[in-house]
A and B are shown apart, each in its own frame.
Chain A
Amino acid sequence: MIKIKGYRRPNGKVGIRNHLLLLPTVVCANQVVNRIQQQVPGSVAIPHQHGCSQVGEDKERTHKVLVGMGKNPNVGAVLVVSLGCEVMNAEQIRDEIIAETGKPVIWIDIQDEGGSVNTIKKGTEITKELSQRIQSIPHEDVSLSELIVGVKCGGSDATSGLCSNPVLGRTSDMIIKQGGSIVMGETTEIIGAEHILAKKAVNEHVKNKLYDSISQFEKEIERMGVDMRGGNPSPGNIEGGLSSIEEKSLGCISKAGTAPLQGVVDYASEIPGKGFYFMDSPGNDIECVSGMAAAGIQLVCFTTGRGTPTGNPIVPVIKISGNEIMAKRMADNIDVDTSPVLQGKESIQQAGERILNEIVNIASGQQTKAEILGHQEFSISRIGISL
Chain B
Amino acid sequence: MELKEKSFGEGISCIVMNINDNVVTLLRSVKSGEELTTTIEDKIITITAKENVGFGHKLALKKIEKGEIISKYGESIGVATASIEKGEHVHVHNLVGIRGRGDL
Contact = CB atoms under 8 A, between A and B. Distances in A.
11 contacts: A158-B55, A166-B3, A191-B99, A218-B100, A227-B103, A232-B100, A238-B92, A244-B78, A244-B97, A343-B10, A344-B11
A273 B99 CA distance: 32
Interface string A202-222: 000000000000000010011
Contacts of B102: 218, 221-228
Given A157-B56, A226-B103, A342-B27, A243 B92 contact: yes
Contacts of A133: none
B91 A343 contact: no
Interface of B is mostly: loop
A244 B95 contact: yes
Interface stretch (A39-47, A84-92, A246-254): A246-254
B77 A250 contact: yes
Given A162-B15, A251-B73, A241 B57 contact: yes
Contacts of B49: none
A245 B90 contact: no
Interface of B: 1-3, 5, 8-12, 15, 17, 25-27, 54-58, 72-73, 75-78, 90-92, 95-104
Contacts of A145: none
Contacts of A342: 8, 27
Contacts of A224: 102
Nearest to B104: A227
Nearest to A226: B102
Interface of A: 157-159, 161-162, 166, 188, 191-193, 196, 218, 221-229, 232, 238, 240-241, 243-247, 250-251, 254, 258, 305, 323, 325, 341-345, 347-349
Contacts of B11: 343-344
Given A227-B102, A243-B58, A344-B10, A196 B27 contact: no
A223 B104 CA distance: 11
Nearest to A341: B8
Given A222-B102, A229-B92, A241 B25 contact: yes
A234 B78 CA distance: 17
A191 B75 CA distance: 12
A245 B100 contact: yes
Contacts of A188: 100
Contacts of B100: 188, 191, 218, 221, 227-229, 232, 245
Given A158-B57, A191-B100, A254 B77 contact: no
Contacts of B76: 192, 246
Given A158-B55, A222-B102, A305-B56, 19 more contacts: A158-B57, A161-B73, A192-B76, A192-B77, A192-B97, A192-B98, A226-B102, A227-B96, A227-B103, A228-B102, A232-B100, A238-B92, A244-B77, A246-B75, A246-B99, A343-B11, A344-B11, A344-B12, A347-B5
A223 to B, nearest CB: 7
B25 A227 contact: no
Listed residue (A241, A258, A347) with the most chain B CB atoms within 10 angstroms of its CB: A241
